[in-house]
Amino acid sequence: MEFRFNVAQYFKTPIIKVTNTLLPSGYYEDRRAVLDATSKISEIINDMGEASASAQGLTRAVTTAQKLRNSDHSLYLMSENGGKNGVVTGLLKVGVKSLYVFDADGETHKVNAPCVLDFYIHESRQRAGLGKVLFQYMLDQENTRAQQLAIDRPSDKLVGFLRKHYGLTQTIPQMNNFVVYEDFFEHNTSHDSTSMETAEMHFTNR
């Protein structure tokens, strides 16, 4: 995706991490430059978030600058040289959420789990290996493994991606929108068990 400004000035590396400051990690400039950078990064986030929502057939964007500002989530953005100003090619949003999830025996547990909340590679750059690069970079930065993740409303493409690149095939059915895989409970600590009735009352927003 191209923008009206040079994105390379904010992408000192091909992948940057943005949190609720709406600035790339390690970005230090004077106040005027920071305000300008925040505005332009917000534009990137909003446009890529809208593109992700459209690709998934969603009626509203999961990822916006305002939502990121008001959260403790992390957003990974990928870019590459191209066009006049460079292009942004990928988005991956993650964050820890408190969830009630079933294990393979049907027992419900409350866990604080790392979650994939949004994942998108621009249509012009799909099937070029960028998704694996972005996803693996996130895993390395967050010091986690694919098996540890809860996936919020994964698309068929994402399910296929996790199967192909990480060998994740067996899911454990849940009552919420999240998908977890068989090895999930080997890597996440349960805080307590709870009844199905209590679990049904627990809702999460991404």
**Residue 131 is assigned to a ligand binding site:** yes
**Residue 191 is assigned to a ligand binding site:** no
**Residue 135 is assigned to a ligand binding site:** no
Q: What share of the chain is helix, strand, coil (3-state, %, to 5)?
A: 35, 30, 35
**Could you tell me which residues come within 8 angstroms of residue 65 by beta carbon, excluding any fewer than 6 positions away?**
22, 41, 42, 43, 45, 46
**Residue-wise over 175-193: b if at least 16 C-beta within 10 A, else e?**
ebebbbbebbbeebeeeee
**Residue 155 is assigned to a ligand binding site:** yes
**Residue 119 is assigned to a ligand binding site:** yes
**Residue 161 is assigned to a ligand binding site:** yes
**Residue 32 is assigned to a ligand binding site:** no
> Strand, helix or coil at 99?
strand
Cα dihedral value 149, 116, 26, 71, nearest 10: -110
**Residue 49 is assigned to a ligand binding site:** no
Task: DSSP letter for 141, please.
Answer: H
**Residue 132 is assigned to a ligand binding site:** yes
**Residue 156 is assigned to a ligand binding site:** yes
**Residue 159 is assigned to a ligand binding site:** yes
**Residue 97 is assigned to a ligand binding site:** no
Q: How many CA atoms lie within 13 A of 4 on its CB side?
A: 4
**Residue 128 is assigned to a ligand binding site:** yes
CB contact at 8 A, 134 and 146: no
**Residue 83 is assigned to a ligand binding site:** no
**Residue 129 is assigned to a ligand binding site:** yes
**Residue 130 is assigned to a ligand binding site:** yes
Q: Which residue numbers belong to the known binding site for acetyl-CoA?
A: 119-132, 155-164
Q: Which residue numbers belong to the known binding site?
A: 119-132, 155-164
